Amino acid sequence: MVAKVRAPSAEGEMLFVNVIAFDDDVCLAMEQLHDGESISVAGSVTPKVWTDKQGNVRPALDMVAHRVMSARDAYQTQTN
């Protein structure tokens, strides 16, 4: 499964994280996410750059996700 995640940088710039997952449990967790939902993703990352339509070079990350947890999952874990 593949997904694109938006993550703010420390400087306030929006980074795009291209996430790929192979594990069935991680793919299932990603399928249940909603657009704009806060998540935590663990995995290996590779820094990249891309060029926008105006010719500006922008940072990006490619990530292989090994674990995904939403804020909803964290709340359910605390209440159980």
3-class DSSP string for the chain: CEEEEEEECCCCCEEEEEEEECCHHHHHHHHCCCCCCCEEEEEEEEEEEEECCCCCEEEEEEEEEEEEEEHHHHHHHHHC
Superfamily of domain 2-79: Nucleic acid-binding proteins (2.40.50.140)
Q: In the block, which residue shows the tokens 């991680």?
A: 26
Give the pTM: 0.78
Q: Where are the domains of the chain?
A: 2-79
Q: Each residue of 21-45: pLDDT tens digit?
A: 999 999 999 999 988 888 999 999 9
Instruction: Round the average pLDDT of the chain to a whole number and report it.
Output: 89
